[in-house]
Amino acid sequence: MNRRRFLAAVGAGASATLAGCSVIDPSAAADDYDVGMTAEAFRPYEITVSVGDTVVWDNTSTRAHSVTAYEEEIPAEAEYFATGGFDSEAAAREAWDGNEGAITNGQRFSHTFEVAGDYTYFCIPHEGAGMVGVVRVEE
Ligand SMILES: [Cu+2]
Protein backbone atom coordinates (compact mmCIF):
# COMPACT_ATOMS: atom_id res chain seq x y z
CA MET A 1 0.00 0.00 0.00
CA ASN A 2 1.56 3.26 -1.01
CA ARG A 3 1.38 6.41 1.08
CA ARG A 4 -1.41 8.04 -0.89
CA ARG A 5 -3.65 5.00 -0.76
CA PHE A 6 -3.05 4.74 2.94
CA LEU A 7 -3.99 8.38 3.49
CA ALA A 8 -7.08 7.97 1.32
CA ALA A 9 -8.12 4.96 3.40
CA VAL A 10 -7.61 6.89 6.63
CA GLY A 11 -9.63 9.76 5.21
CA ALA A 12 -12.51 7.49 4.26
CA GLY A 13 -12.46 5.92 7.69
CA ALA A 14 -12.50 9.32 9.36
CA SER A 15 -15.49 10.38 7.27
CA ALA A 16 -17.40 7.26 8.26
CA THR A 17 -16.62 7.88 11.92
CA LEU A 18 -17.95 11.41 11.60
CA ALA A 19 -21.08 10.36 9.72
CA GLY A 20 -23.29 11.62 12.52
CA CYS A 21 -21.59 14.98 12.55
CA SER A 22 -22.91 17.86 10.47
CA VAL A 23 -19.45 18.97 9.42
CA ILE A 24 -18.09 16.59 6.82
CA ASP A 25 -15.28 17.69 4.61
CA PRO A 26 -15.82 15.99 1.24
CA SER A 27 -12.17 16.54 0.38
CA ALA A 28 -11.05 14.44 3.35
CA ALA A 29 -11.71 11.20 1.50
CA ALA A 30 -9.97 12.48 -1.62
CA ASP A 31 -6.90 13.82 0.09
CA ASP A 32 -4.47 12.45 -2.46
CA TYR A 33 -2.71 15.63 -3.50
CA ASP A 34 0.58 17.03 -2.22
CA VAL A 35 0.14 20.79 -2.24
CA GLY A 36 -3.12 22.62 -1.64
CA MET A 37 -3.96 26.29 -2.06
CA THR A 38 -5.59 28.87 0.16
CA ALA A 39 -6.75 32.28 -1.03
CA GLU A 40 -3.17 33.53 -1.26
CA ALA A 41 -0.81 30.69 -0.37
CA PHE A 42 0.43 27.23 -1.27
CA ARG A 43 0.11 24.71 1.58
CA PRO A 44 2.58 23.42 2.46
CA TYR A 45 4.92 26.18 1.37
CA GLU A 46 7.75 23.71 0.93
CA ILE A 47 7.73 20.04 0.00
CA THR A 48 10.60 17.57 -0.35
CA VAL A 49 10.41 14.71 -2.84
CA SER A 50 12.80 12.33 -4.62
CA VAL A 51 13.95 12.37 -8.23
CA GLY A 52 11.25 10.75 -10.35
CA ASP A 53 8.40 11.71 -8.01
CA THR A 54 5.29 13.44 -9.26
CA VAL A 55 3.94 16.35 -7.23
CA VAL A 56 0.20 16.99 -7.41
CA TRP A 57 -1.25 20.42 -6.71
CA ASP A 58 -4.95 20.80 -5.96
CA ASN A 59 -6.72 24.13 -5.98
CA THR A 60 -8.42 23.74 -2.63
CA SER A 61 -9.53 27.38 -2.62
CA THR A 62 -12.36 29.16 -4.40
CA ARG A 63 -10.02 31.49 -6.30
CA ALA A 64 -8.26 30.90 -9.59
CA HIS A 65 -4.52 30.32 -9.24
CA SER A 66 -1.54 29.33 -11.31
CA VAL A 67 1.43 27.12 -10.56
CA THR A 68 4.25 28.82 -12.45
CA ALA A 69 7.95 28.04 -12.09
CA TYR A 70 10.44 30.88 -11.79
CA GLU A 71 12.64 30.20 -14.79
CA GLU A 72 15.75 31.39 -12.98
CA GLU A 73 14.97 29.46 -9.79
CA ILE A 74 14.93 25.90 -11.03
CA PRO A 75 17.97 23.74 -11.85
CA ALA A 76 19.52 24.72 -15.18
CA GLU A 77 18.96 21.26 -16.71
CA ALA A 78 15.39 20.94 -15.44
CA GLU A 79 12.27 20.99 -17.55
CA TYR A 80 10.23 24.17 -17.14
CA PHE A 81 6.70 23.72 -15.72
CA ALA A 82 3.59 25.85 -15.47
CA THR A 83 -0.16 25.38 -15.47
CA GLY A 84 -1.32 25.85 -19.03
CA GLY A 85 1.70 23.92 -20.27
CA PHE A 86 3.80 26.96 -21.14
CA ASP A 87 7.48 26.43 -21.78
CA SER A 88 8.71 29.68 -20.28
CA GLU A 89 7.85 32.06 -17.46
CA ALA A 90 7.45 34.89 -19.96
CA ALA A 91 4.95 32.89 -22.01
CA ALA A 92 2.99 31.98 -18.86
CA ARG A 93 2.84 35.60 -17.69
CA GLU A 94 1.78 36.83 -21.10
CA ALA A 95 -0.92 34.18 -21.47
CA TRP A 96 -2.35 35.00 -18.04
CA ASP A 97 -3.42 38.37 -19.40
CA GLY A 98 -5.53 36.40 -21.86
CA ASN A 99 -7.00 34.27 -19.05
CA GLU A 100 -4.93 31.20 -19.85
CA GLY A 101 -3.09 29.00 -17.40
CA ALA A 102 -5.44 29.20 -14.43
CA ILE A 103 -6.66 26.28 -12.40
CA THR A 104 -9.91 26.76 -10.54
CA ASN A 105 -11.46 25.14 -7.47
CA GLY A 106 -10.93 21.38 -7.46
CA GLN A 107 -8.68 21.37 -10.50
CA ARG A 108 -5.30 19.75 -10.31
CA PHE A 109 -1.88 20.12 -11.85
CA SER A 110 1.00 17.69 -11.64
CA HIS A 111 4.64 17.68 -12.59
CA THR A 112 7.25 14.94 -12.42
CA PHE A 113 10.66 16.05 -11.23
CA GLU A 114 13.56 14.34 -12.97
CA VAL A 115 16.42 16.62 -11.87
CA ALA A 116 17.55 17.09 -8.27
CA GLY A 117 17.59 20.59 -6.84
CA ASP A 118 15.35 23.36 -5.54
CA TYR A 119 12.45 24.66 -7.59
CA THR A 120 10.71 27.88 -6.65
CA TYR A 121 7.34 28.63 -8.19
CA PHE A 122 4.59 31.18 -7.75
CA CYS A 123 1.00 32.06 -8.57
CA ILE A 124 0.79 34.78 -11.19
CA PRO A 125 -2.19 36.76 -9.80
CA HIS A 126 -1.07 36.47 -6.18
CA GLU A 127 2.67 36.80 -6.56
CA GLY A 128 2.48 40.25 -4.98
CA ALA A 129 0.75 38.73 -1.95
CA GLY A 130 3.63 36.28 -1.53
CA MET A 131 1.98 33.21 -3.03
CA VAL A 132 5.19 31.30 -3.62
CA GLY A 133 6.22 27.71 -2.98
CA VAL A 134 9.28 25.49 -3.11
CA VAL A 135 9.79 21.90 -4.22
CA ARG A 136 13.05 20.34 -3.04
CA VAL A 137 14.02 17.34 -5.11
CA GLU A 138 16.56 14.98 -3.59
CA GLU A 139 18.62 12.27 -5.29
CU1 LIG B 1 -3.04 32.56 -6.53
Alpha carbon of 92 to ligand 1 centroid (Å): 14
pLDDT digits (tens, 9 = 90+) for 38-66: 999 999 999 999 999 999 999 999 999 99
Task: Tell me, in angstroms, the distance from the centre of ligand 1 to residue 85's CA.
Answer: 17
Residue 22: pLDDT band with limits 50, 70, 90: very low
Cα of 122 to ligand 1 centre, how many Å? Answer: 8
Which long-range contacts link 105-110 to residues 24+ away (Cβ below 8 Å)?
105/59, 105/60, 105/61, 105/62, 105/63, 106/58, 106/59, 107/58, 107/59, 108/33, 108/56, 108/57, 108/58, 108/59, 109/56, 109/57, 109/67, 109/83, 110/54, 110/55, 110/56, 110/57
When pLDDT is averaged across residues 81-99 and rounded to a whole number, the result is 95
The alpha carbon of 39 and the centre of ligand 1 are apart by a number of angstroms equal to 7
The better pLDDT of the pair 30, 89 is held by 89
pLDDT at 57: 98
What mean pLDDT do residues 112-131 have? 98
Mean pLDDT throughout 10-35?
Answer: 53
Q: What pLDDT does residue 65 have?
A: 97
pLDDT value at residue 30: 62
Q: What is the maximum span of the chain, computed from C-alpha positions, in angstroms?
A: 53
Q: Does 13 score more than 50 pLDDT?
A: no
- In total, the chain counts a number of residues equal to 139
